[in-house]
Amino acid sequence: MKHTDEVLSGKQQRAIFVRLMGYARVHIKKLIIALAIMMVAASAELVQPILIAHFIDDYLTPGVFLTEPLVMLAGLYLFLLILAVCCQYFQSLLFQRIALQIVQALRIDVFRNVQKLGLSFFDRMPGGGLVSRITNDTEAIKELYLSVLAVFVQNGSL
């Protein structure tokens, strides 16, 4: 275990990323469900401007204000808005649960490895620094799963 901050090469970074993604393999079904929910939310958000354009082009510009079609259009817009918000909430909740389970598994593995280290390591490395490093680094990895991957997949899918 290295305890110095060093710059890693691109190859080393990819290897670490692949290793971290290995922890997600256990949760592949949940990830697919979260991604599907994310796609539904993105689709609902994409249709909303189309409805607004339809309203402007067909009703507002010509000055035709028929009650029944406008109520249907407003209802559909409201439905899509609520659908998008609910999907984003459940997708976020699912990603949060997955990330916490991954971080738990990662911390267990790290703790297992720390227990195998010799006493000379603990003489060189202060205990508080080690605990802080493990806690902060695993929290950063949780953010990888929550923020970075969700944004990466969402932006890559659109």
* Extents of the domains making up the chain: 11-157
3-state secondary structure of 118: coil
Confidence check: pLDDT of 158 > 70: no
**Roughly what angle, to the nearest 10 degrees, separates helices 149-157 and 67-116?**
140
For residue 99, give every residue at least 6 positions away whose Cβ sits within 8 Å of its Cβ, in sequence order, or none. Answer: 142, 145, 146
Listed residue (140, 153, 156, 62) closest to 102, CA to CA: 140
Q: What pTM does this model have?
A: 0.73
pLDDT digits (tens, 9 = 90+) for 74-97: 999 999 999 999 999 999 899 889
pLDDT at position 144 is 77
Listed residue (88, 87, 59) closest to 72, CA to CA: 59
3-state secondary structure of 6: coil
pLDDT digits (tens, 9 = 90+) for 106-154: 889 988 988 888 888 877 888 788 888 888 888 888 887 777 766 766 6
pLDDT at position 152 is 67
Asked if 43 and 86 count as a contact pair (C-beta separation under 8 A), the reply is no
Listed residue (95, 93, 98, 82) closest to 26, CA to CA: 98
pLDDT at position 53 is 95
What amino acid is encoded at 89 in this protein? Y
pLDDT digits (tens, 9 = 90+) for 21-54: 888 899 999 989 988 998 999 999 999 999 999 9
For residue 146, give every residue at least 6 positions away whose Cβ sits within 8 Å of its Cβ, in sequence order, or none. Answer: 95, 96, 99
CATH number of 11-157: 1.20.1560.10
Listed residue (102, 99, 81, 80) closest to 34, CA to CA: 99
pLDDT at position 76 is 97
